[in-house]
Structure 1
Amino acid sequence: MRVTAMPADTNAYGDIFGGWLMSLMDSAAGLVAARRAKGRAVTIAMEGMKFHAPVRVGDEVSVYAEIVKVGRTSMTIAVEAHARDRHRETTRKVTEAHFTFVAIDRDRRPRPVDA
């Protein structure tokens, strides 16, 4: 997932809101979870959120997500966000976390991931 950080996403100091980044990361993890579960999956936890560097307006933010564990009904997904100044080629890791998702059925009850 790749987006540009815009002025509307900043706090009073001009840095991008951490919540904006968390939302992107949750969305990326959700896409991976739904694909693996072949259906609806919901976020039940986020662990180990670490902010390494600020994101500035105009930075290109890339979010990478990969499954690191699959249980009977749940999945743990490692997510990293990297930022790149729009006029440079180098990137920097700005945040990382692990998200846990549970596959659910039509009645919103946990179901096997491999169902």
Structure 2
Amino acid sequence: MYYVATKICRTSEIGLNGNLFGGTMLSWLDEAGAAFAGYLCRAPAMVTLKMEEVLFRRPVKISHHVRIYASVQRVGTTSMTIDVEARRFDFDQDLEELVCSTRMVYVKIDAEGNPAPIDSRLRDSLDQSLAEFARH
């Protein structure tokens, strides 16, 4: 998996039980996944087609740092399937702990919002694109 983003849980994102709202976590995963897919597809416009089963494994509390990781599972004609997971970082133990995971499908779109083809060379050069992403 490739590191994509870090989010810090704020007081305004906490629900009645003292945990991060699930919807906030989903928006973090969606934004990070779309940015990852867009980078790899060299496309400024990637939209979410679907989010598969989401597993909320552990709570996130105020001031927790959440690192988001992603990996490509499949590249189609106009879509890319990505596994996305969030890991809570424990500074004291220098340890990451999985808190949420899902699989998402993003579609490349054109200026009118219609599905647009992903460059077929991407499938051939995916390893190179991922290596570039890891360097940035």
Fold conserved between structures, TM > 0.5: yes
Contact 1:73 1:103 in 2 (8 A): yes
Which ranges in structure 1 are unaligned for 5 or more consecutive residues? none
Aligned to 1:95: 100
Pairs aligned (count):
115
Distance 2:89 2:21 in 1: 17
Q: Identical aligned pairs, as a percentage?
A: 31
Structure 1: distance between partners of 2:85 and 2:25: 10
What is the aligned partner in structure 2 of residue 19 from structure 1?
Answer: 23
Q: Do residues 82 (structure 1) and 101 (structure 2) align?
A: no
The Cα shift of 1:61 comes to 0.4
User: Could you list the runs of 4 or more consecutive aligned residues of structure 1 that deviate by over 3 angstroms after TM superposition?
Assistant: 85-88
* CA deviation map 1:23-76 (0-9, x unaligned): 110011011111122221100100021111111111110000121100001100
Residue identity opposite 1:82 in structure 2: R
Higher helix residue share = 2
Between the aligned partners of 1:22 and 1:75, the Cα distance in structure 2 is 18
**In 1, distance between residues paired with 2:119 and 2:39?**
11
User: Quick one: which amino acid aligns to residue 61 of structure 2?
Assistant: R
Q: Distance in 2 between matches of 1:26 and 1:86?
A: 25
Alpha carbon RMSD of aligned pairs, Å?
1.3
CA distance in 2 between partners of 1:99 and 1:114 (Å): 20
Q: TM-score, normalised by structure 1?
A: 0.93
Q: TM-score, normalised by structure 2?
A: 0.80
Gaps of 5+ in 2: 121-136
Aligned match of 1:38: 42
Q: Which string of whole-angstrom CA distances, capped at 9 and with x for unpartnered residues, describes residues 59-109 of structure 1?
A: 110000121100001100100100023444222100000110111111111
Q: Which residue of 1 aligns with 2:73?
A: 68
Asked if 1:5 corresponds to 2:23, the answer is no
Matched, 1:48 2:53: yes
Structure with more strand by fraction: 1
